[in-house]
Structure 1
Amino acid sequence: MTRQRPISPFESVYFLDLGAAGLPLYDMPAFVESLVRGRLDPALMRMALGLLTERHPILRSEVVAGEVGLLLRVRDRVEPPLTLLDGIEDTYAELINTRPDWTESLLHAWLLTDGERSQVVLGVHHGVADGRSAFALLDEFWQHYTALAAGASPSVERREELPEAIDTRLAGALPDAEIDAVVDTIAQGPATETKPAVLPTEGVGRPDRPVATRRFVVDRLEFAVRTTDAVVAAARARGVTVNSLVTGLVLTAVRAQLAPEQGSLVMTCGHGVDLRTRLTPELPLSTVLNCITGLQTTLAVGHDDRPESVGREVADHVAGALARRDPERFLLAALRAGTRGIAVPVPVVSYGISNVGRIPAHPVPEDMELLRFGGTANAPGMPPKIGVASFGGRLLVQNEYDSWTYSPEQMRQLRETLRGSLMDLVR
């Protein structure tokens, strides 16, 4: 039984402070939240959180030093901290700019209240969970809480064995020669110096920049079920998915803010790829683990290109990359290059796109009404990204950015362009 295992090379970037030489992922939290109309009982919340740690041993883990590196070691019992806070919108905006003390627990929870509204926020260390498994964890929390509020006594199977890291699971999935060929390409450096176009960093050095507690911003565009159905119909009529359509809208909206006004510019879209679905058999979302890696697609975007055409081209690039198993190949090659002392360049991305997919509305007690859901994960140096999700049949398009890099004014312009373009589709 594996109650202790090494933190894998893929996971280690979230647990090692590499300073300016590394990615800005050290101790990074992933936040997920849901807003309800109604009041929650903190005592029942603590019981529900306890059930989560019983079922998921990785949430009971602590980080300890081993002989050759850091280890995850399962503890017998962990009580995730629950913090009660007043206010919702402003309080949440500040909360997502904090980093919890992970020494006590790799899972933290907050209850925000404002009158009859309550917001449940879970924060989990990104080294042990990604956004998709965090949303599954939030749903599991509400299942337990709803049962407890109804007077039931839910129980879960206590688990002790830590799940294998995703790069450990992928080891041997591709021939060594293929991985070595990619490592050689990394060592040779980029074949071209053409860099993708990016938004101007209007937020850098501004004397009126937001305070540190408001640095990372989440802008939400939420649409009613009727509007969501109309967007889905518009995408189908154009022969693309909703995610592809939104991707095209994002890239053309960004292109509209770039000089020169005429002609095409090379742009790179960053994507999150869930490697759970790349395994045989697939790893269920109920397994709390970080399984997300990156994939980049590069294309030329003109000032007058149709969003659906851009989105379709991006989707074709992604489909080809997945068929070639590029996400697994590049991840394993980057990790191998690191062991050989070969520097792996951080890709320059015009904009990130995170397709969370369809998330069913989670259960809540009968005396509550579920109003919305959301989540975010951000750190200094990360490019701006758009999250696309459908929750309970409602479309959410969410822009996440660092306001010390990009100004609120330029991001407000991007948000309103996206809103106008989506509404034009459904008129």
Structure 2
Amino acid sequence: MHRALCPVETLYVGQRSRAVLSCSLRGPVDAAALSAAYDAMTEAHPGLRSRIAQDGTGHVLRLLDEDERPRLTTRSGDGEEAYATELNRPLPVGGPLSRAVLVSAPDGESHLFVLVIDHTVTDGHSSIALHNALWDRYRALVEGESAAEPAATGPHWPEPISRLLPPADESDTAKYLDSRLEDVRRHAVELVPYDAATGDGTGPQGRIEVHRLALDADLTARLRRTARDAGVSVHALIAAALLAAARRRLDGDGPRTLGCLSPVDLRSRLTPPVPATALVPAVTTHLQTLDVAGDSEPLELARTVHGRLADFLARGDQFHEMRITPEIPRTPTLQLATVIATNMGVVPGPRLPNGLRAVDVRLVPAREQYFPQAGRSPVMACVVSFEGRLSIELPHFTACFSPAFMRAFRDDVRAGLLRFATAAEPGPAAAVTA
């Protein structure tokens, strides 16, 4: 059994990017039940037990044989070390497009569960939905609840999002592409220079690390109030803090052209809507360029980001953007930005059985290929609020951006967000970093 990839999904084949979901747990975990829950997910979602294969000039998802399908791996060890290992462990080409690992401390009370999924078959929303569904299944198994078994009618492949777009005139799409190409030609963005690269790719072997900024529920609520009072989104405030931090890494005080790339979820914008449980990438992007000076007012930056993104969505340009995505390999500047600010919004954490508690839940993007020799690149920020607490993950490759550089960048963004948060309600404020 196989399913052809659409041109948009094919772009992820070369990127080799993946979603890394992790859940730190306290309490007893039944490894057999968790293994059965993961098996149920891979049975219900054939993309998880598939590999990418060449098919003529294109690519397909091809089901793995039974002895090749992914199974839960369990081992003992330290959670932090295990997280670093799994973050840097790729999904091999030709192998399964998902991986699940449970690492338990010797006392059996502390655990780390890591779920890794290739972006060819998922996005942030569907990976979070899958993670929660897996734990729903686990809870049902250990508590003896009845759970629906997967239908025995063969694998159900979700339809590619690019085939669900509303109809459009080809000439309108061509005009949109011409306009975008002209915009990126006239407004070339500046990227953040690396501080750790040798420039020729011959330096020390790098690794993926993550610097994290997490706000507690009170600070998150205050940030939302600031956004509401200013008539902007929390996403716009975060984008403004990222842009300001990036500008401070460039020379001089005058205006510099910076780009902000905002992924846009298409699921709720289609008719009928596509549920998050459909394991398929359903994201397009919005790129805007702004002239940012050393003394630019962050709230004005936020208003600009918010207004332009709102206009983009009101015009329905998100559908045109998805249609022109196959042009990106020929013109990478269509998605070239100084900062990339994802936004999963407010999402629930997993519902666990009595006696088991989720201490922390994280979503971090990673990929296999980084290019220290390029000398500069966008800064990625993965933003999600689990259970009302905002978290910003800043993954980086240490042969490009050093840990010290990203730690300072993280602290700079944190300071900007705290200024926004304290504007809503005076008083002492603190943020948690990791």
User: Secondary structure at the residue paired with 1:93?
Assistant: helix
- Residue equivalent to 1:180: 174
Shift of 1:52: 0.8
AA in 1 matched with 2:244: T
Matched, 1:344 2:350: no
Aligned partners of 1:272 and 1:295 also within 8 Å: yes
- The RMSD of aligned alpha carbons is 2.7
Of 214-223 and 130-139, deviating more is: 214-223
- Residue equivalent to 2:431: none
Cα distance change, pair 188–396 in 1 and its aligned pair in 2 (3 A): closer
Cα distance change, pair 38–154 in 1 and its aligned pair in 2 (3 A): same
- Residue equivalent to 1:371: 359
Aligned 1:20-419 pairs, distance under 5 A = 25-26=15-16, 28-67=17-56, 69-74=58-63, 79-85=69-75, 86-101=77-92, 103-114=94-105, 115=107, 116-158=109-151, 160-170=155-165, 173-184=167-178, 191-192=185-186, 194-205=187-198, 212=205, 215-260=207-252, 262-335=253-326, 337=327, 343-346=330-333, 347-379=335-367, 380-381=370-371, 383-419=378-414
Aligned partners of 1:147 and 1:153 also within 8 Å: yes
Aligned partners of 1:183 and 1:334 also within 8 Å: no
Query: Cα deviations across residues 331-390 of structure 1 (Å, max 9, x unaligned)?
Result: 31342x58xxx9323343111100110011220121111111111222325732112221
Aligned partners of 1:74 and 1:160 also within 8 Å: no
Query: Cα deviations across residues 228-263 of structure 1 (Å, max 9, x unaligned)?
Result: 222222333333222211111111122222210x22
AA in 2 matched with 1:221: L
Aligned partners of 2:346 and 2:386 also within 8 Å: yes
AA in 2 matched with 1:151: G
Cα distance change, pair 271–137 in 1 and its aligned pair in 2 (3 A): same
Cα distance change, pair 313–188 in 1 and its aligned pair in 2 (3 A): closer
Shift of 1:325: 2.6
Of 69-78 and 33-42, deviating more is: 69-78
* Aligned partner (choices 2, 5, 23) of residue 3 of structure 2: 5
Query: Cα deviations across residues 130-154 of structure 1 (Å, max 9, x unaligned)?
Result: 1211011000011011111213342
Aligned partners of 1:44 and 1:149 also within 8 Å: yes
Cα distance change, pair 400–75 in 1 and its aligned pair in 2 (3 A): closer
AA in 1 matched with 2:126: S
Aligned partners of 1:196 and 1:266 also within 8 Å: yes
Kindly tell me the number of residue pairs found equivalent between the two proteins: 407
AA in 2 matched with 1:118: H
Aligned partners of 2:86 and 2:114 also within 8 Å: no
Aligned partners of 1:50 and 1:79 also within 8 Å: no
Aligned partners of 2:26 and 2:357 also within 8 Å: yes
User: Secondary structure at the residue paired with 2:289?
Assistant: strand
User: Secondary structure at the residue paired with 1:395?
Assistant: strand
* 5+ residue gaps, structure 2: 372-376, 428-434
Of 343-352 and 313-322, deviating more is: 343-352
Give the Cα separation in 2 of the matches to 1:125 and 1:205: 30
User: Secondary structure at the residue paired with 2:273?
Assistant: coil
What's the % identity of the aligned pairs?
27
Aligned partners of 2:39 and 2:71 also within 8 Å: no
- Residue equivalent to 1:21: none
Cα distance change, pair 60–411 in 1 and its aligned pair in 2 (3 A): closer
Give the Cα separation in 2 of the matches to 1:211 and 1:364: 42
Shift of 1:330: 2.9
Give the Cα separation in 1 of the matches to 2:180 and 2:263: 21
Aligned partners of 2:64 and 2:96 also within 8 Å: no
Matched, 1:14 2:1: no
Aligned partners of 1:51 and 1:155 also within 8 Å: no
Give the Cα separation in 1 of the matches to 2:223 and 2:340: 21
Shift of 1:422: 2.9
Shift of 1:112: 2.0
- Residue equivalent to 1:22: none
Give the Cα separation in 2 of the matches to 1:330 and 1:258: 30
Of 395-404 and 151-160, deviating more is: 151-160
Give the Cα separation in 1 of the matches to 2:47 and 2:55: 17
Shift of 1:197: 2.5
Query: Cα deviations across residues 12-55 of structure 1 (Å, max 9, x unaligned)?
Result: 1233x5xxxxxxx13x3221111111232221111001111232
Shift of 1:57: 2.9
